[in-house]
Amino acid sequence: MDRQVTDWLEKIQYDPFMYLHKSNDAALKYYTGQLVGTTAMDNVENLWELKEPERIIKKQNPDGSWTYRGSRPGDEYGENYELLETWRKLNSLVYKYGFNKEYHAIQKAAEYLFSCQTPEGDIRGILSNQYTPYYLGAFLATLIKAGYEDDKRISLAFHFLESMRQNDGGWIIPMAMYKTTEYYSLCQKEPIQPDRSLPFSHMATGMVIRAYAAHPVYCQLKIAKHTGKLLKNRLFKKDTFTSRQAIAYWFKFHYPFWWTSLLTVLDSLLKIGFDRDDTDVKKGLGWFISHQNPDGGWSSGYGRKKTSESDQWITLAVCRVLKGFYE
């Protein structure tokens, strides 16, 4: 086995590749091979022909969106459920199957997201007409990964994010300053400005930082480093006023990434340039080292009794972080 791979594997108790090789998912196998250096990166287009991405793309609407099929209680208040669903599908195509803007369906999906961008720079519709800097960060990370890092609309969105920072340098969800029961009464009014004196939310800030971490230029800025310092100092602590305050949310994982977790923050810190010898980073890595399952994998944290495909993707993401810090 490659010496570099051996170095980081020596940090953990069980071999994760025994677990990953059990998967029948061709995309997961491709990225596992890439991790150990047996898969050529330029072969990613082979994944575009798999049945699952074909199934997803066939359901894309002519305007580039995907239709949300769940409950829609906020329709009358202007919530855009298709915006969320389109990002979710785009996220899967980009991060699981390696799609980029060279593919027509990705162009259409990206243009749909950009069609929801306001003159201020934010992509609006998740919470009616209210500001959602946390989702904007997640949207930007996906669009940048798809190849839109040089698009002027991306620059405009980053400008908006910088204008929405708290006094301490992080971000909050302005609507979260109010009780949930007040939500719909506030929708359709002027967007609520954040109280800048409030402490940042690590859930919101952890989604924003993914945009900076994904961008080849913005990841090098002082704002990215400062945000990383804020987040690493908040690891394993309770969040401020959000619906995901509990410490347990640090250990609930999704792939592709969604909410802020220990895994998403470490991934961002790695891309921004933090070192494994940083005290907080070391604690985060130590948690994964001590919480590996005997079968070699890591669990989502959502209490599933049986091994699931999602756990395998999460295991792949953990391995990438460990390899990145320990190589």
CATH number at residue 94: 1.50.10.20
Backbone φ, ψ for residue 317 (5° rounding): -65, -40
pLDDT confidence of residue 193:
94
pLDDT confidence of residue 3:
45
Please check whether residue 155 lies inside any domain of the structure: yes
pLDDT confidence of residue 184:
80
| Contact criterion met (CB below 8 Å) for 315 and 19 | yes
* pLDDT digit string, tens, across residues 18-44: 999 999 999 999 999 999 887 666 688
* pLDDT digit string, tens, across residues 256-312: 999 999 999 999 999 999 999 999 999 999 999 999 999 999 999 987 655 578 999
* pLDDT digit string, tens, across residues 55-72: 999 999 999 999 999 999
| Contact criterion met (CB below 8 Å) for 319 and 7 | no
CA distance 88 to 125: 14
Number of domains in the chain: 1
Residue 182: is its pLDDT beyond 90? no
* pLDDT digit string, tens, across residues 228-256: 999 999 999 999 988 899 999 999 999 99
Please check whether residue 250 lies inside any domain of the structure: yes
Residue 81: is its pLDDT beyond 50? yes
More confident residue, 327 or 211: 211
Angle at 243 between CA 238 and CA 245, to 5 degrees: 5
Please check whether residue 247 lies inside any domain of the structure: yes
CA distance 113 to 135: 12
Give the chain's mean pLDDT.
93
Please check whether residue 324 lies inside any domain of the structure: no
The arithmetic mean of pLDDT across residues 178-192, rounded, is 83
Around Cβ 274, how many Cβ atoms within 10 Å?
A: 20
> Which DSSP string corresponds to 294-324?
TTS----SS--SS--HHHHHHHHHHHHHHHH
Residue 89: is its pLDDT beyond 60? yes
pLDDT confidence of residue 5:
54
Please check whether residue 26 lies inside any domain of the structure: no
Residue 52: is its pLDDT beyond 50? yes
Please check whether residue 282 lies inside any domain of the structure: yes
pLDDT confidence of residue 279:
98
CA distance 84 to 91: 10
Residue 20, CA distances (Å) to 9, 11, 144, 255, 256 in order: 14, 18, 27, 15, 17
Q: Token pair of 290, please?
A: 């001590």
Three-state secondary structure of 107-175: HHHHHHHHHCECCCCCECCCCCCCCCHHHHHHHHHHHHHHHHCCCHHHHHHHHHHHHCCCCCCCCCCHH
Domain limits for position 263: 50-291
Please check whether residue 6 lies inside any domain of the structure: no
Please check whether residue 99 lies inside any domain of the structure: yes
